[in-house]
């Protein structure tokens, strides 16, 4: 996110639109050394994910982390994607 638009909700709106238009299971990767990303993505996932959503970290993939979420909002069968 361009610095001047950070902390204004632009990325949150964009991510919600993206997930809404493409429902299903998602795999996200983030740089754990980026404090903004390390705070933003888990908070966003928790705010939009349906009950029963799981996340997990892949510690063998440093310096970025892969998190798999399932199910995602609107996904009847996450394995179908």
pLDDT digits (tens, 9 = 90+) for 26-69: 888 787 788 888 899 889 888 888 787 777 776 665 555 555 55
| Residue 67 included in any domain | yes
Residue 80: which domain range?
Answer: 32-81
| Residue 6 included in any domain | no
| Residue 50 included in any domain | yes
With bands split at pLDDT 50, 70 and 90, how would you rate the model's confidence at 14? very high
| Residue 60 included in any domain | yes
Identify whether 15 is preceded by a cis peptide bond (ω within 30 of 0): no
| Residue 39 included in any domain | yes
Q: What is the pTM of this model?
A: 0.61
Structure tokens at 23: 């429902």
What total of structural domains would you count in the chain? 1
Cα(35)–Cα(14) distance, integer angstroms: 20
């Amino acid at each position: 996110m361009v610095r001047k638009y950070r902390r204004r909700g632009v990325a949150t709106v964009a991510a919600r639109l993206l997930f809404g238009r493409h429902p299903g299971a998602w795999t996200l990767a983030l740089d754990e050394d980026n404090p903004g990303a390390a705070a933003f993505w888990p908070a966003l996932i928790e705010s939009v994910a349906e009950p029963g959503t799981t996340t997990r970290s892949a510690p063998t993939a440093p310096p970025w982390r892969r998190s798999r979420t399932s199910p995602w909002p609107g996904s009847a069968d996450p394995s179908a994607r």
